[in-house]
């Protein structure tokens, strides 16, 4: 069956948010200008799925920040020790980082 893609994946996220706490509403996402500033600062283009996730729910810290939070775009960084990977989440004690595959 495989993983859901595109609209199906984001529909799943919307359904989860509505069942967990409250539906995703306009304004739940990170503004495009903030994502563009992060891209300029980092000197790269964010992966499409990451940009879509931020745009959909980036401002919903109740969904993205309970454990090992999604970093705000202004806090994204490239980890030089790991061959320049983009770090998008940080373990809550700062001992592990997560990056898109």
Which residues, listed in sequence order, are joined to residue 87 by a DSSP beta bridge? 77
Instruction: Report pLDDT for 69.
Output: 87
Residue 1 has pLDDT above 60, yes or no: no
Q: What is the 8-class DSSP label of residue 58?
A: T
- Written as six digits, the tokens of 10 are 């984001």
d(CA 63, CA 69): 9
- Written as six digits, the tokens of 29 are 């996402």
Closest CA to 87 of 40, 52, 38: 38
CB–CB of 70/89 below 8 Å? yes
Q: Which of 16-30, 49-63, 83-97 has the lowest mean pLDDT?
A: 83-97
pLDDT digits (tens, 9 = 90+) for 26-76: 889 999 999 999 999 999 999 999 999 999 999 998 888 888 889 999 999
């Amino acid at each position: 069956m495989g993983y859901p893609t595109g609209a199906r994946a984001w529909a799943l996220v919307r359904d989860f948010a509505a069942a967990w706490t409250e539906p995703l509403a306009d304004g739940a996402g990170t503004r495009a200008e903030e994502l563009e500033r992060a891209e300029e600062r980092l000197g790269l283009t964010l992966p499409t799925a990451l940009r879509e996730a931020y745009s959909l729910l980036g401002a919903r810290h109740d969904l993205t920040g309970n454990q090992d939070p999604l970093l705000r775009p202004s806090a994204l960084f490239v980890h030089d020790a790991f061959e320049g990977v983009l770090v998008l989440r940080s373990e809550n004690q700062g001992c592990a980082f997560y990056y898109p595959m």
